[in-house]
Amino acid sequence: MDNIKEMPIKYVIIAVLGVIMLLSIVFANQIFGETSVFNDLISDNQAINDIYHNIPMVIRCAQILFLSWVVLKILQFVSTKTLSHSKGGITASKLINSFLKYIMAILAMLLILKAFGVNTAALIASAGILSLVIGLGAQSLIADIIAGMFMVFESEFQVGDMVVIDGWRGTVDEIGIRSTRIIDAGGNVKIVNNSNITSVVNQSQLYSVAMSTISIEYGESLQRVELVIRDNLDAIKAAIPEIVEGPYYKGVTALGASSVDLLFMSNCKEEDIYIVQRAMNRELKLLFDRNGINIPFPQVVVNTPHGFGDSIDVAQSRDANVFAAEQRTISKNVEENLN
């Protein structure tokens, strides 16, 4: 009993419709045939008789609803399996599945009306007039549908892309025929009407740039630090698998009040940018600790300043200059992507 109570209501409804469907097939003659048990009057009360005579139509409606749901799920399954081999295919399949949902709902409604004796042919014939009336009253809905189709066909963004829409940063979960669903890093969901999406920042088409700034003391030999960095960049990349390209040493980014600030950049996926930034900070701090490179902090010095590191010879100085120049050249595109 507890499992039944915990079952979502929609599955209970589907199960009931399935049972009705099965029974209506097995006892089709007794329900819908000329010898139907519902043809005989069972009461002198006309209201009760009307309800009794309408039971076959109610069962027929249950059949239509169940079959429509089954056909919809089959078509959506085929669409998903056929197209879900790329981000573009996933986006298209979700739009098609959303479109199929509306189409099947309209068809089911027409079949149910026909089961109750409504002339659906005449209703469809008058669809031109109805569409004009609906079009005048539902312009925003039509705009949403058209905007959604353009977004998919022009590949402005796709399911799985990291985007910023109206200041909301998140991953595109679904592009429907009327609205787009976005989920941020905290699991919050934002649903935006397609026609209201006027500008989008797609952060997934190119690699994002993770930046790390670390400081050294003025008394430290900058060239010695650059040689230490040169010898350990590959080790830093190996320690951070989320880095796609880099890390690159960009050089001195600022001369602070009490420090020389060094800038590092790496290319990575947008969803990994904060992971890479934190990992780069950690690896650089550990690297500087192992090599006796101090990271300054505000303090009052009341003693004689101590020496900084070991002095370097002319050859090492030349190597440091070559390394800094090489890093400026090979990391140029990273800076351009950032802009």
- pLDDT tens track for 55-110: 667 777 777 777 888 888 888 888 778 877 766 677 677 777 777 887 888 788 87
Is the peptide bond prior to 8 cis by the omega test (within 30 degrees of 0)?
Answer: no
* Torsion angles phi and psi, residue 15, rounded to 5: -65, -40
CB 233 within 8 A of CB 222: no
* Single-letter amino acid code for the residue at 131: S
For residue 281, the surrounding DSSP H or E stretch is helix 273-290
Place 331 in a pLDDT band, splitting at 50, 70 and 90.
confident
Calpha distance 175→243 (Å, rounded) = 29
pTM summary value: 0.50
- 205-231 pLDDT, tens per residue? 678 889 999 999 988 899 999 999 999
Mean pLDDT on 133-158: 68
Crossing angle of helices 222-239 and 314-330, rounded to 10°: 50
Q: What percent of the chain has pLDDT over 70?
A: 69
The CB-side HSE value for 320 (13 A sphere, CA atoms) comes to 17
CB 127 within 8 A of CB 106: no
- Please list the residues that pair with 208 across neighbouring strands: 268
- N-terminal to C-terminal alpha carbon distance within the chain: 61
Place 339 in a pLDDT band, splitting at 50, 70 and 90.
very low
Asked if residue 287 has pLDDT above 90, the reply is yes
CB 223 within 8 A of CB 216: no
User: Three-class SS of residue 53?
Assistant: helix
Residue 73's pLDDT is: 84
- Mapping DSSP onto H, E and C, the string for 209-275 reads EEEEEEEECCCCCHHHHHHHHHHHHHHHHHHCCCEEEEEEEEEEEEECCCCEEEEEEEEECHHHHHH
The token pair at 106 is 């309209």
Domains of the chain: 2-125 (no CATH), 136-202 (2.30.30.60), 208-338 (3.30.70.100)
